[in-house]
Amino acid sequence: MVTTAIAGLTTVQSAMAQSTATQALEETKEIVVTGTRNRNVGGLAVDQSVTKTRSSITEEFIEKQAPGSILETINILPGVNFSDQTATGSVGGDITLRGFDQQRIAFMLDGMPLNDTGNYAYYPTMNPDSEIYSKVDVNLGTTDVDSPTASAGGGTITYQTRRPSKAFGVSAKATVGTNDYSRQYVQVDTGEFGPWGTTAFVAVSNLNSNQFKGVGTEDRKQINGRIYQSLGGSDFASVALYYNETRNNAVYNSSLTTINAGNWSEAYASTIGTVSNSISSGSSGYYGYRINPTNNGNIRAQFKKHLTDKLVFTFDPSFQYTLADGGTQVSTLTESTGVLSMVGSSYVWNELKGYDANHDGVVSTTAYKVFSPSVTETRRTTVNSSLIWYIDPHNTLRVAYTYDHGNHRQTGRVSFLEGGQWIGDVFSEDSSLWVYGKNGEEIQKRNRQSYANLKQFAITYGGSFFDDKLKVDLGVRLPDFERELNNYCNQISSSTAYCAKDPGTKLVYTGTVTQITAKAPASWTVSYDKTLPNLGVSYKIADHQTIYTSYAETISAPRTDSLYDRLSLDLQPEISKTIDLGYRYSSPNVSGAIALWKTDFDHRVETAWDEEIGASVATDVGKARMKGINAEIGFTPVKGLDLYASSSYTDTEMLENVYYSATAYNPTKGKKLGKVPSVMHAVNLSYETGKWDFNVNGKYTGKRYASLANGDAAPGYTVWNANVSYDLGQVGPVKDAYLRLNVKNLFNEKYISAISTGNVFYDSGNYFWIGAPITTMVTLGTKF
């Protein structure tokens, strides 16, 4: 029976999870144990069979939404808050999940980890186009047992690439919209070809847009593809690829004082002013010196093969490459004094003092501009493998092994601007432009290399009892994480370094002269390991009704920047312990769930101002507690009408004050975490009639504090989106054409979207991005 059921899974497009092995296990439970497949309501309120809290969206919902970040589409799910910087989804933004920020959430694509290997950052601008996804799963507060991550404190967000179609087809989209938005997307499915019925697809896209305030552009080119080979039954092999190039100007962020005064349009200057104004972080700073270029790509494979009727082997290897630059990239150099000045700080470099660095025949007594980027280049290899034993139709055992290696290179080569004004080489790779000192030493603001290695064993048991009413999942993760760090600079803090043999002694930081002894260049290795249990139990109490509970422990090892800090070599890893209690209802027309949850979080690390050394360093801010409730429901009252609603309440609390001397401390006890809304509500209505398809959704996001001081706060706001499609039918050789109108921020709500925290202990240096106003996009789509 189990063999027949498993073999029949080849046509199932249901619980797309992180890895091939997890996907296989969950699909088996749906068919063998429950006898059903996942239902959903218009691509939302997806029926879940796992013994943990999870919400999902499918391509049915994704396809109706306006072009943009895939994170915009999951913003409607409970516990999720995504705040974009623009309406296009191609620049960036913040995402939180149950009180955890994006550096504490694991992001996966076909089982491949997407978080940065150094600081666990996740960059929405690097997302694949939304059209390639078949499903997105959001695990709230937990990971899957075989998750190849060292950073998932608050849960996982996993993307699954769609399978190529068995029939040949070409689809194309052309979109135009507000702010000269233009996007073209073409996708080709080969259909079955060759002697084994191989299928493949390739998709290319191009996006160009002006930003909604000030001067600045967004440009992105991308290619995606997948080749899929069935190996009989549910066995398969596939290889997917992705490559992306973005060239964006940064979006200006304002102070709360400016916004409260009614200035919603403050932006970077459109022309180059004086030297000091050009590199300013304020509105006098030149927009052309605020760039965020990226080149990134990956290749990922999936393989599943039955070794016997009851023994299955899965293998998911991948390779990723990323080259990116960001932050403030232009500084000034004064040759007579040797001062290299950046926003907020100045450095005296003996290598440059009294030296004609640009070889113009004069030792300059006035400052001139130089390019000082923060470039990161990463090469990452991951292998996730499992051996699954289907003991009988009611018991399974899986053993998994993960190897993840990241080569993380961070440089800050100071270079001359082309013509003394323009950034030409955005990654500072042209050695002819590099700045050298009097002894021939290359001048850099940072120069370091780290290697991140994760070796992880995991074992999982799944069982069903009492006529399959009771389901039990028991698992344990055994991660062994090692960082090899090589810092070639004299380090003050994670963002302050002298990369020269004779750096000088004086540091002027935010106007205060402070004598600091820098940490000399060094190489060292740190390692972290922990046994992480994972338990889930569900019980079917009646037809359509299930209760469940889960418990999971996660670890987030210290980030690269934290470990490069002068005083932070003894940082403890962050540890979270989460328990959920939930109820699900699922019938042909109604699907919903509600969950109560609680997370205990130890050794939370924040980059914060240190009073004693006068710099920002990684700081253990102690324990935090999060608890709350999240719920969602979807139903179809009449044919063609789908209704969905979600709601979340999240309560966060710091449990300790943070001491920076024997008696002095920052009063964080009792404060709420920054960037986390306490209350969120969302609704979605979809209606299809004849050739028309209408969709409206709205999201209320409650107040968010900017820091642990709980002073500056972004007020709550509501944003509505509307989408209307009309089926044009066959037009000449085009067998299926449609016209779609998407309107974002339908009622032109003025609101604060993303938040940049300056000092986590005080309300100073906090900045806020303005949400995009009403934005209209029109798409003409065709299929051949």
User: Contact 223/242 with Cβ under 8 angstroms?
Assistant: yes
Secondary structure element (H or E) that encloses residue 740, with its range: strand 734-744
Alpha-carbon distance of 119 to 117, in angstroms, equals 6
Which tokens hold the place of 74?
């999951």
pLDDT score of 692: 95
Alpha-carbon distance of 128 to 385, in angstroms, equals 24
User: Contact 275/421 with Cβ under 8 angstroms?
Assistant: no
User: What single-letter amino acid sits at 79?
Assistant: G
User: What single-letter amino acid sits at 782?
Assistant: T
509: pLDDT confidence band, cut at 50, 70 and 90? very low
Percent of the chain with pLDDT over 70: 90
568: pLDDT confidence band, cut at 50, 70 and 90? low
Which tokens hold the place of 291?
């760039």
Alpha-carbon distance of 491 to 26, in angstroms, equals 48
Mean pLDDT in residue range 717-744: 91
pLDDT higher than threshold 70 for residue 12:
no
> Which string of b and e fits 564-577 if b means at least 16 CB within 10 Å?
bbbebeebebbbbb
User: Contact 654/619 with Cβ under 8 angstroms?
Assistant: no
User: Contact 443/428 with Cβ under 8 angstroms?
Assistant: no
The length of the chain is 784
Torsion angle of the four alpha carbons 448, 454, 455, 461, in this order, in degrees rounded to the nearest 10? 180
Alpha-carbon distance of 92 to 113, in angstroms, equals 19
Which tokens hold the place of 364?
């300059």
User: Contact 409/389 with Cβ under 8 angstroms?
Assistant: no
pLDDT tens-digit series, residues 548-564: 999 999 888 888 888 88
Residue 236: other Cβ atoms inside 10 A: 17
Alpha-carbon distance of 721 to 87, in angstroms, equals 11
pLDDT tens-digit series, residues 87-101: 888 887 889 998 888
Q: Cα 605 from chain centroid?
A: 19
User: Contact 712/755 with Cβ under 8 angstroms?
Assistant: no
Residue with more model confidence, 116 or 201: 201
152: pLDDT confidence band, cut at 50, 70 and 90? low
pLDDT score of 131: 93
User: Contact 94/101 with Cβ under 8 angstroms?
Assistant: yes
